[in-house]
Amino acid sequence: MVRLTLETAKRLIAVAEQKSRQMGLSSNIAIVDDGGNLVAFTRMDQARIAGIEISKNKAWTSVSMQMPTANLAQSAQPGGPTFGVNTTNFGRVVILGGGIPLVYRERIVGGIGVSGGSSAQDIEIANAAVQYFASMYGRTSNIDAQIGSSQQYS
């Protein structure tokens, strides 16, 4: 069984930071374990202060809801099946893109949350770290389908 270590979390942050810089952004990046507990966090220079909690909560949401936060964005619209979900858990559930679970052998072992740009930009940065995580364990194919899926993991 793979456990998310501090060393792995630091590597994921480094990958996300590099991607953020390449895109000309300053981001807040959070990594949580399988229980949604913070393992590592960084706030790049000039990153918005509000993004600190947003990034942490995106990571937490991706683990607790067992899906990318972008998937919640669509279903949480008025009339959608999860409308109002962002008002639960003391407002901690985030429906903005940029939170993605870290999955190993169909088991969530953690999550990443990024806040610094648009939802699409945050997703791109988080995806870079998720793809790096997958490559660490020899899983480089079909990762995009897993990331964008609304599949829930047990």
Q: Sheet with 107-115: list strands edge to edge.
A: 38-43, 28-33, 107-115, 99-104
Q: Given pLDDT bands bounded at 50, 70 and 90, which one contains residue 2?
A: confident
**Does the global pTM surpass 0.85?**
yes
Range from 69-83, 104-118, 138-152 carrying the lowest mean pLDDT? 138-152
Reduced to 3 states (helix: H, G, I; strand: E, B; else coil), residue 48 is coil
Please determine, for residue 143, whether its predicted confidence score (pLDDT) is greater than 60.
no
Please determine, for residue 10, whether its predicted confidence score (pLDDT) is greater than 50.
yes
